Amino acid sequence: MTERGLSLLVTLRSEAQPHVSRVVPARRGTAVRVRAGQVFRVTDPYGGQVGDLFAFVDDGARRLTSYLSSAHTRGHTSRLFPAVGEDFVTAARTPVLGLLDDTSPGRHDMLIPACDPERYRLLGAREHRSCVANVHEALAELDLVVDAVPQPVNLFMNIPVGADGALSWLPAPSRRGDSVTFVSHLDTVVVLSACPQDLVGINAGAPTDLVLDVLDRP
């Protein structure tokens, strides 16, 4: 972690009050503007809940075209999963978020796309909420649109890769109150979806709420 990251953490732990504190209800999403230099935190208050995290570059346009790319981040860090001290980058290799702190067991998937209506139809559910729909709904609240929902960083989602390359869909290992803290390197629109997946066991029982706090202003 950088000295700047450490000093930001000391600040937020000792004196800062959240400027934005939002409960994201189970199966729903939210979008919030985060300015360059601001810190935000995602908390899993009950444990075992996956949060699909997206960061779009906020360039003033209604249609968002640049965003955190999990694929480019894997190339940037030479890792499958994020680690404290590392940055997330866009498709132009520009750092957009930094990972400052993580109290969870530290597994955050960057391989699996956001769940969508077709995923649930294939699992036998005709009508089901999805992270893709949550992103569109949350952005619409800010009068913003995207042509396609990018692959998220799936916070707390545990998808280990076997030696033979097989993926396992395991319950999220996050405990009550575990959190992940980020700094935004650019002006961004951050979207968090409390994943509604209840047909595959990634959410350790049933989907529950998440909390999104924006903690610091430049």
Q: Which residues bind Zn ion (CB under 5 A)?
A: 115, 131, 195, 197
Nearer to Zn ion, 8 or 132 (CB): 132
43: its two tokens = 């908390």
Nearer to Zn ion, 84 or 170 (CB): 170
Distance separating alpha carbons of residues 82 and 33, to the nearest angstrom: 22
Distance separating alpha carbons of residues 62 and 140, to the nearest angstrom: 10
State the minimum distance, in angstroms, from the CB of residue 47 to Zn ion.
17
Three-class SS state of 145: strand
**The 210-214 sheet, strands edge to edge:** 20-24, 210-214, 39-44, 178-184, 95-102, 87-89
Nearer to Zn ion, 100 or 135 (CB): 135
Tokens 């998808």 appear where?
159
Q: Which amino acid appears at position 49 of this protein? A: Q
State the minimum distance, in angstroms, from the CB of residue 12 to Zn ion.
28
Nearer to Zn ion, 50 or 183 (CB): 50
Distance separating alpha carbons of residues 55 and 206, to the nearest angstrom: 26
Nearer to Zn ion, 55 or 100 (CB): 55
State the minimum distance, in angstroms, from the CB of residue 56 to Zn ion.
18
CA distances from 194 to 4, 23, 81, 95, 106 (A): 30, 10, 19, 25, 18
State the minimum distance, in angstroms, from the CB of residue 38 to Zn ion.
25
